[in-house]
Amino acid sequence: MHAISVRKMSFPAAAQLLIHGLVLYNLVITREKKMRAFEQFPGPPGNWLFGHLRQDGTDFSIITKWGEQYPYAFPLQFGPTSIYLTIHHSSYLKTVLASAGDNIAYTFLTSWIGEGLLVSAGQKWFRHRRLLTPGFHYDILKPYVKLMADSANIMLDKWETYAKTEQSFELFQQVSLMTLDSIMKCAFSYNSNCQTESGTNPYIKAVFELCYLVHLRWRWFPYPSETIFHLSPHGYRYRKACKIAHSHTEEVIRKRKEALSKEKEQDILLKRRNLDFLDILLCTQDEQQQGLSDEAIRAEVDTFMFEGHDTTASGISWILYNMACYPEHQQKCREEIQEALKGKDSMEWEDLSKIPYTTMCIKESLRLYLPVPGLARKFCHGYVFDPLRFLPENTAKRPPHAFVPFSAGPRNCIGQNFAMNEIKVVVAMTLKKYVLIKDPEHTPKMVPQIILRSLNGIYIKIRFSLMDLLPSSG
């Protein structure tokens, strides 16, 4: 009976069967090639189709155990053919990060953020990096601190309702609005009012959607196929979110160009305010007096709009969560911050270097909850929260690549000083005003997407810190 059904099979059905067979054959061959490439590195067994990770909030603890079992590197599978070598030893990492080669992990981001610094490679990357580096000079970053503090104050004022009731609330969404507000003011001199507008910010919502969909495409067969993803419901959602994100950045660029064009001489406008990142994008030129194309400008704005708010929001949210979990370290930070500010209500540039213990706590949180989980590294004592490991004498004992929260080598994060300054400002001002309290009913489940998020949100409680700062009557 089976032989007869095969002979009577129609041509379209036979062709479809053949195509499926060829796809499966190609899948097997590709997988075998990648497995052979990593055969020198033993690793944990994984599901043939779905890989190793579950995305249920347990992935990080599982990877940590595998890191102890396979102490240098091991293959990690995200799908039938998406297999990567996970490196977690500083000597291996140094060799990899010394290269300025293509960053294949971000391929699926191109249609969203274009070929900016995060995605581009070769001479294009070298040229853009050289042209944009002045945008993160000391003189450019210094005035940003006041703008960061202003954005932080808006968020902290909104939190007074939670402090009065000690009601549990979710951090990430609110911190994301604050960091978006901050990057818009600092890098683009643009007042978005996103923290005070009612309703969900469409750009923030689009970024959340895009991060989820890019990660889904990266790990779920057969979405690496451009055609299949484009035709899928997820592909439709991705294009819709991209349109929202692009319209947001295009408006920012358009308004700045209009402002510049109204001035007969550019110097007049630039003297009226601080030079920012967008000014440099629009005005920079190379040795041949060639500037950036409109396409390149939008790609860099899309890149920094995303990287400048979402990664920092992740870092700040997890740091505040850690402060709530470790009240003894929180109190030491608060005392140090009070001493540094000497009664002032806000952080200034000169104050950033006066909070060394708080800075060590920030670094320890970044070690445990790195905003970009693809760069996650583990060194001694795993998940024990110990800021003192970042004392100068302890840091000197470790290899330089044991802790790389902003990557290292030629492709390190160009905005790392901007990010650290903002983190210090927000953490210091938060701890000055509030005591952070862990919510035992909401334990976050880490999900490593493009940005480290929580499957169930990051919840804390707060109360005003003034009571804790008053002398005890006992």
Domains, the chain, in order of start with CATH, read 21-88 (no CATH), 104-469 (1.10.630.10)
Residues 6 or more apart whose Cβ sits within 8 Å of residue 65: none
Residues 6 or more apart whose Cβ sits within 8 Å of residue 321: 171, 369, 438, 444, 458, 460
pTM of the predicted structure, to 2 decimals = 0.85
pLDDT tens digits, 65-114: 888 888 888 888 877 777 788 887 777 777 777 765 555 667 889 999 99
**pLDDT value for 69:** 87
**pLDDT value for 102:** 54
Residues of each annotated binding site for heme: 413
**pLDDT value for 456:** 94
**pLDDT value for 46:** 80
Residues of each annotated binding site: 413
**pLDDT value for 15:** 67
Burial of 419 by CB count in 10 Å (0-12 exposed, 13-18 middle, 19+ buried)? buried
**pLDDT value for 381:** 46
Q: Name the residue with tokens 């070690």.
A: 367
**pLDDT value for 474:** 40
**pLDDT value for 94:** 78
Instruction: List, for the chain, all residue ranges whose pLDDT scores fall below the cut of 50.
Output: 1-6, 376-381, 467-474
